[in-house]
Amino acid sequence: MRKIFALILLMTMTIGSGMAQKGKAEPVVLIHTDYGDITLKLYNDTPKHRDNFLKLIKSGWYNGSPFHRVIRNFMIQGGQNKDGRVDPGYKVDAEILPNHIHKKGALAAARQGDMINPQKKSSGSQFYIVQGRVFPTKELKSLSYKMGKEFTEDQIKVYSTTGGTPHLDGEYTVFGEVISGLDVIDKIAKVETARGDRPIKDVNMTIKILE
């Protein structure tokens, strides 16, 4: 009888722990720039990317570093530290999920190409925030055919109203999204750039954890 009671108790604790993890609040971080602040939430169902991003923020990796690649109607990219190191020397396993798409404001991890990185592993620190553009429904249908995948009704609604970069879906890990500051992304995306899409005047950032 005691063994049965102990087993039931253990099962209850395990289930309770799982429910607690599932209901855990998503971390919120703030990127401060001279163009304004961008607030993002990090998804709990991409835990490797979430935890790695939080670890780098806590270490101060991003503070004083630039958005070094900016392409209007596409994305703004950062990730190297202020000393110029491109990444911390490791990769993060892909966590590509169909429920996280490249809508405007999506936070995703940059990576090396498929030829040398067929597992689609992410850079240890390089990230980008999607600006993208609005796609007419007809264009989305054509893109769907080229990609060999069907967009859901919800995805079509998002890409045809809010916009994004749908052709990146399934190729890169999206691990968060902007909850305020989309206008700041637009401002940064408009800056004048030079060779390599690097802003002529540095757009530096600091990142801190809010929740």
Residue 22: per-residue pLDDT: 58
Residue 211: per-residue pLDDT: 74
Question: What would the two tokens of residue 140 be?
Answer: 């989305």
3-class secondary-structure state, position 178: strand
Residue 20: per-residue pLDDT: 39
Per-residue b or e along 46-71, where b marks 16 or more CB atoms closer than 10 Å to that residue's CB? beebbebbeebbeeebbeebbbbbbe
CA distances from 197 to 63, 95, 129, 138, 194 (A): 21, 27, 15, 30, 6
- From the first residue on, what is the mean pLDDT of each consecutive set of 10 residues in the chain (211 residues)? 45 43 84 98 98 98 97 97 93 97 98 97 98 96 91 95 97 98 98 96 97 74
**Residue 131 — φ and ψ, nearest 5°?**
-100, -60
Residue 15: per-residue pLDDT: 43
The answer to whether the predicted template modeling score (pTM) of the entire model surpasses 0.95 is: no
How far is 164 from 69, CA to CA, in rounded Å? Answer: 17
Say how far residue 56 (Cα) sits from the centre of its chain.
Answer: 14
* Residue 93: partners with Cβ closer than 8 Å, 6 or more residues away: 48, 119, 121, 122
Residue 78: per-residue pLDDT: 97
Residue 5: per-residue pLDDT: 43
Given a contact cutoff of 8 angstroms between Cβ atoms, the answer to whether 94 and 171 are in contact is no
CA distances from 41 to 105, 198, 201 (A): 11, 26, 28
For the chain, the farthest-separated pair of C-alpha atoms sits apart, in whole angstroms, at: 75
* Residue 35: partners with Cβ closer than 8 Å, 6 or more residues away: 184, 187, 188, 203
